[in-house]
Amino acid sequence: MMKFAAGGVALLGGGCGDGVRAGRSGKPLVAATTTMVGDLARSLGGEGVEVSALMGPEVDPHLFKPGQRDVQLLRGAEVVMYGGLHLEGRMAEMLERMERHGGRVFAVSEGLRAGSVIEADGAHDPHIWGDASMWADAAGYAAGRLAGYFPGRAEEMRARGEEVVAALRGVHERLKGRAEEVPEGRRVLVTSHDAFRYFGRAYGFEVLSVQGIATVSEAALADMARISGVIRARGIKAVFVESSVSPATIKRISEETGAVLGGELCSDALGAPGEMVDAGGRMVDKGTVGGMLEYNMDTIVRALR
């Protein structure tokens, strides 16, 4: 197993206390940062814990800035789970400081196999849930950590972990099968930002994204021109907007190139829990990582095949 450190802006130090921290239900409180980590915590913890996620659907974790209530939630939780690899950007240093000071705080990415993390632009890519097999590794690791924190329910949590891992590996195999419905030459995924490298590597898609849009307008224009040129030259038929990113740039590229809008993909956040959608004849919950991935793949396949 590898453990990756992440830098960030210091917000507030501190750690978790020694006693059991309970939520409103009276059950031990597990705090999660993102919707993806929250889904994992609920799947592993079951009815024996209360899970509270700081971020909701369509919230971009890279830009999320916690308020005082969020900080209080983290410091009042029995366990804190987060993604890591600098996914939580502005919160990273605070989370690491809590862990260093003895808090029950861990990043699910700590459980990834050596060499599996993509490095780009001098940093680790944190979008690991795009590959269901990697998220399965993270789930197995998280189950072990939670079992250690809750010894009275350790056996149950490990069993849940095995079920979650098996389910995600099943999703991984279905996604590989669905990807084959798109001719190899058409497996080009054009999106707003670099959130699909793991997805592309796992399921055989070339990923093209527009970068630097929110910060440097000159770079954004150059990137848009670059992507538009590739779309025209290669006859790419569809481009995709993302649920947690402004669709303006992708819509403009669509208008300029004639590539259709293939649909909206979930990138840095899940849908609402219990949001059932049809993914190629399978009803899946868009508020879970597995369901979201199947929804994304179905959207991509329908647009590109």
For residues 59 and 167, state if they share a domain.
yes
Asked which of 1-5, 271-275, 294-298 is least confident by mean pLDDT, the reply is 1-5
Q: Give the model's pLDDT for residue 242.
A: 93
pLDDT range class, residue 61, cuts 50, 70, 90: confident
Q: Give the model's pLDDT for residue 21.
A: 62
Residue 276 domain-assigned (yes or no): yes
pLDDT above 70 for 17: no
Q: Give the model's pLDDT for residue 194.
A: 86
For residues 117 and 236, state if they share a domain.
no
Pairing of strands 260-265, 238-242: parallel
End of a domain among 135, 151, 172? 172
End of a domain among 132, 149, 172? 172
For residues 292 and 195, state if they share a domain.
yes
Q: How many domains, the chain?
A: 2
Asked which of 61-65, 139-143, 161-165, 202-206 is least confident by mean pLDDT, the reply is 61-65
Mean pLDDT, range 269-296, rounded to an integer: 96
Q: Tell me if 62 sits within 8 A of 89, measured CB to CB.
A: yes
pLDDT above 70 for 137: yes
Q: Which phi and psi angles does 301 have, rounded to 5°? A: -60, -45
For residues 41 and 105, state if they share a domain.
yes
Q: CATH number, domain at 150?
A: 3.40.50.1980
For the chain, what is the mean pLDDT? 88
pLDDT range class, residue 22, cuts 50, 70, 90: low
For residues 185 and 153, state if they share a domain.
no
End of a domain among 139, 172, 205? 172
Q: Give the model's pLDDT for residue 223.
A: 86
Domain that holds residue 81: 29-172
For residues 138 and 233, state if they share a domain.
no
Q: Tell me how far apart the alpha carbons of residues 253 and 257 are, in angstroms, rounded to a whole number.
A: 6
Residue 42 domain-assigned (yes or no): yes
CA distance readout (Å), 278 to 129, 283, 298: 20, 5, 9
Residue 48 domain-assigned (yes or no): yes
Residue 227 domain-assigned (yes or no): yes
Residue linked to tokens 């947690």: 244
Q: Give the model's pLDDT for residue 4.
A: 36
For residues 132 and 184, state if they share a domain.
no
* Residues 177-232: tens digit of each pLDDT: 999 999 999 999 999 888 999 999 999 999 999 863 322 334 478 889 999 999 99
Q: Give the model's pLDDT for residue 23.
A: 65
* pTM, entire model: 0.89
* Residues 73-118: tens digit of each pLDDT: 998 999 999 999 999 987 888 998 998 888 999 999 999 998 999 9
Residue 16 domain-assigned (yes or no): no
pLDDT above 80 for 14: no
Residue 61 domain-assigned (yes or no): yes
Q: Give the model's pLDDT for residue 153.
A: 95
Dihedral of alpha carbons 39, 44, 47, 50, sign: negative
pLDDT above 60 for 263: yes
